[in-house]
Chains A and B, each alone.
Chain A
Amino acid sequence: MGSIFSLQQILNGLQLGSIYALIALGYTLVYGIVRLINFAHGDFFMIGAYAAYGSFYMFNALVAGRSGTLAFLVLLAAMIGGASIAYLTNKFAYKPLRYKPKLSSLITAIGVSMFIEYFFSALPAIGPSYRSFPDILVRKEIRLGNAVISNLVIIDLAVAAILMVGLTLLVRKTTLGKAMRAVSQDKDAARLMGIDIEKVISFTFMVGGAFAGAAGLLAGMTYPRIFPYMGILPGLKAFIAAVLGGIGNIPGAMLGAYIMGIAETFASAYNSLIGEGIAFAILILVLLIRPRGLLAEKIADKI
C-alpha cells in the first residue's frame, strides 16, 4: 500500500495538522494557566471564521485589488474577533468561578459553548445556514511529480509556523511570557511576586482566542464553507491533539496536532471506517502508554 504514504497524503496531513495546531495551542495555553478545559474554544474558532467573513466584505472595496493587504486585514480581524470573544467569555463566565471547584467551570464552559452556537444559529443576521467563504487569494496549484501543491497548503503551513514561532518567543523572551509561566507554575507564589494574575489569565485567553481566530480564517480559506456549528469537530480533534502532546505544553500541542493531522489522513486513505475512529484510538493508546501525553514532564502528585 505505497499509495497511502504518498507525498500528496503527507501534504494533506500537514495542512490539516496546521489548523489543528493553531486551535490546540489555545487549549493548551488556557489549560496550562487555569487548568480548565475550555470547551468553548472550538466556538472561538468559529467566531474567527465569521469575523474574517464579515471583514472581507467590509475591506474588499477599500483595498480593491491588493489581495495581500486584504488578506492581512482579514487575518487581523479574525484574530481580534477570536481574542474578543475569549476575553468576554473569561470575564463573564470563568472569572467568577475561578476559586470554585474546577468542574463547575467545566460545566459553565459547556454552557458557554452551547450558548454561542445556538445564539449564532438563532440570530437572523447569521442563521444556521452554510455560507460560502469568499476566495481571499486566488487559488493556484503547482504540480510536483505526482503531487499537487496548492498555494493554500503553503499559506496554511506558513501562517501556522509564523504564529507558533511568535508564540514561543512571546512565552520565552518577554516579561509577559515570564509572568504567564510563573502563573502556570504557582498562582500564589506569582501573586506574592506582584504579578496581577487576573490580567495574565485574561491575556492568555486572548492569545488563545486570537490563535483560534486565525485558524478560523485558514479553515475558511481552505474549506470554504462556514456555519455556526463548524467549531465542534475541529475543537474536539484539536483538544485531543493537545492532550496527546501533553496538555499545558506548547511544543506538545504542535506535535500532537501534526501527528493527528497526518494519522487521520493516512488512516482515512487506508480505510474510511478506520479513519473515523483513528483520532480516538491513537489518543487512548498514547495515554495508556504515556498517561501525561508525549512531551509532558514527569511531575509527582502534590500531597
Chain B
Amino acid sequence: MKKVLFVMAPVVLVAASYAQDIKIGGIGPVTGEAATFGISTKNGMTMAVDEWNAKGGIFGGRKAKLIFEDDKGDPSEGAIVWNKLIQQDNVVAIVGTVMSKVSLVGAPISQAAGIPMISPTSTNEKVTLVGDYIFRACFIDPFQGTVGANFAFNDLKARSAAAIFDLGNDYTKGLAENFKKQFEKLGGKVVAFEGHPTGTTDFKAQLTKILQGKPDVIYIPDYYNDVGLIAKQARELGFKGPLVGGDGWDSPELVKIGGTAVENGFFTNHYSSEDKRAIVQAFVKKYKAKFGAEPDALAALGYDAMYIMLDAIKRAGSTKGAAIRDALKATDINVVSGRIKFDENRNPIKSAVIIEIKNGKQVYRTTVNP
C-alpha cells in the first residue's frame, strides 16, 4: 500500500499544479455537412474563453481551458464526446452543441453526471426539459415562428402567406409549423406549406407551386445557405413580395449568395450588428480581427453561451456542478444577444429584433418582446 502511495505522490502533485485550470467542454460539428455551423460556434466559444483568460481568469486566478470535441452532427458521435468530456477529461461544464438531435443525446448524460450544460443553438423545446442542469442560449422554435407570423400579419399587412422548409431539419420545420399556426390564428390564410429535401439546391418545383397560390409573403425559416438559393429562385420565377425568416438568415454570406433577391427580406434575430451596445461592437470588431470574417448568428450564440457559463462559474466561485447550476439559474447578464435571464424551463427570456435586408445591408427594423 505504501509503495502505491509513493508512486502515486508525484502524479497527484502534477495533477494539483494543473488543477488551476478550469476545464470546460465544448462540442460542435466541425466535420461533416454541418461543419460550417460548428466552426462558427467554436470560434465564438474560443473567443469568450480567451477574453476571460486575458482578464485574469474565472475566479481565484484560475483560467478556463476549453477542450473542444467534434460531434460530426451525428447523435451517436454526440454520445461518445459527452461521455469522453465528462468521464475522461473531467470537465466541470459543457457548452454545446449546435444541433438539437445531438444535444438531446448529450443532455441526459450531462444531467445524470450532474455536469451543467448550455446549448448555444439547439432550439428544440425538449432539450432543456431533460433536467435542471440543462440550459440554452437561443430562442425556442415556437417563439420565432410566432414572432415571424405577427410581423408578417401586422407590420407587412400580409393576408396570405406560404412557407417552405427543410423536411429533414427539425429547426426549420418547427419554425414553419409555428408560423402557420400563428398566422392562421390571426386570420391570415396559408396558401401553401411546402417541404424540400435536405441538401437539395433546386427549389423551383416547390416555388412554382407556391406562387400559383399568389401569397403576399413567403416564410423561409431555413439557414442562409438555402435561403439565398430559395430567394434567388423565387425572384427568378417572378415573386416580388417580401420574404420572412428566422435567425438562420444571420450570416454575411446570405447577401452574397442571394444577391438582390434577398432585398425586401426580413428575419427575426437575437441582436443587430448595428446595435450600439459596447459588447456588440467589441464582439463584431474582435471577431473580424481574429477570424477574418463577419460573425454569423452561430458565432454570436457560441460566444454568448460560453460567456454565460463562465460568468456562472465565476459567481459560483466553485467548480461543483450543483453550485454552477444554481449560479446559472440566477443569471442576469448582458451579452451580445441581449440581456439574459432564464425562465423556469432554463430558456433565456430575451427579446427578438427584426432585421431588414436593405441595399445588401442588415438594417434594424424593430424589437419584439416575448
Whether A and B touch directly in their complex, counting CB atoms under 8 A apart, is answered as yes
- Which residues of A are interface residues toward B (Cβ below 8 A)? 3-4, 6, 8-9, 12-13, 15-16, 118, 121-122, 127-133, 135, 139, 141, 143, 148, 150, 219, 222-225, 227, 229-230, 232-234, 264-269, 272-273, 275-276
Question: Does A129 contact B204, Cβ atoms closer than 8 Å?
Answer: no
Chain B residue numbers with a CB within 8 Å of A133 are 257
Question: Does A269 contact B206, Cβ atoms closer than 8 Å?
Answer: yes
Question: Does B253 contact A223, Cβ atoms closer than 8 Å?
Answer: no
**Given that A121-B31, A127-B39, A273-B167 are contacting pairs, would A132 and B228 also be in contact in the complex, using a CB cutoff of 8 Å?**
yes
In the assembled complex, the Cα of A272 lies from the Cα of B236 at a distance in Å of 21
In the assembled complex, the Cα of A129 lies from the Cα of B291 at a distance in Å of 13
Q: Is B88 an interface residue (CB 8 A)?
A: no
A-B contact count (CB 8 A): 106
**Given that A135-B259, A148-B237 are contacting pairs, would A129 and B206 also be in contact in the complex, using a CB cutoff of 8 Å?**
no
Question: Does A272 contact B253, Cβ atoms closer than 8 Å?
Answer: no
**Given that A129-B39, A225-B257, A272-B167 are contacting pairs, would A266 and B205 also be in contact in the complex, using a CB cutoff of 8 Å?**
yes
Chain A residue numbers with a CB within 8 Å of B36 are 127-130, 227
Chain A residue numbers with a CB within 8 Å of B31 are 118, 121-122, 128
Chain B residue numbers with a CB within 8 Å of A130 are 36, 224-225, 253, 257
- For chain B, give the interface size range: 35 or more
In the assembled complex, the Cα of A196 lies from the Cα of B284 at a distance in Å of 60
10 contacts between A and B (CB under 8 A): A3-B209, A4-B209, A127-B36, A127-B39, A130-B253, A150-B236, A225-B201, A227-B36, A234-B201, A273-B195
Please name the 5 residue pairs, one residue from A and one from B, whose CB atoms are nearest each other, closest first: A128-B35, A132-B256, A223-B201, A268-B205, A272-B195
Question: Does A224 contact B205, Cβ atoms closer than 8 Å?
Answer: no
Question: Does B257 contact A275, Cβ atoms closer than 8 Å?
Answer: no
In the assembled complex, the Cα of A219 lies from the Cα of B224 at a distance in Å of 18
Known: A135-B259, A143-B238, A230-B201. 15 other contacts (CB 8 A): A3-B212, A12-B208, A15-B204, A121-B35, A128-B31, A130-B224, A132-B257, A141-B238, A225-B229, A227-B36, A232-B33, A265-B204, A266-B205, A268-B205, A272-B194
**Given that A128-B39, A148-B236 are contacting pairs, would A276 and B201 also be in contact in the complex, using a CB cutoff of 8 Å?**
no
Q: Is B370 an interface residue (CB 8 A)?
A: no
Question: Does B253 contact A268, Cβ atoms closer than 8 Å?
Answer: no
Most-contacted residue by chain A among B194, B196, B209 (CB, 10 A): B209
State the Cβ distance, A223 to closest chain B Cβ, in Å.
Answer: 4
Q: Is B369 an interface residue (CB 8 A)?
A: no
**Given that A225-B228, A225-B229, A233-B200 are contacting pairs, would A8 and B35 also be in contact in the complex, using a CB cutoff of 8 Å?**
no
Using CB atoms, name the residue of chain B closest to A224.
Answer: B257
Most-contacted residue by chain B among A8, A150, A273 (CB, 10 A): A8
Q: Is B32 an interface residue (CB 8 A)?
A: yes
Chain A residue numbers with a CB within 8 Å of B346 are none
Most-contacted residue by chain A among B202, B253, B259 (CB, 10 A): B202
Interface residues of B in 28-68 (CB under 8 A from A): 30-33, 35-36, 38-39
Chain A residue numbers with a CB within 8 Å of B195 are 272-273, 276
**Given that A12-B208, A268-B206, A269-B206 are contacting pairs, would A227 and B225 also be in contact in the complex, using a CB cutoff of 8 Å?**
yes
Using CB atoms, name the residue of chain A closest to B201.
Answer: A223
Q: Is B317 an interface residue (CB 8 A)?
A: no
Question: Does B253 contact A131, Cβ atoms closer than 8 Å?
Answer: yes
Chain B residue numbers with a CB within 8 Å of A266 are 205
Q: Which of B225, B229, B237 contacts A8 (CB 8 A)?
A: B237
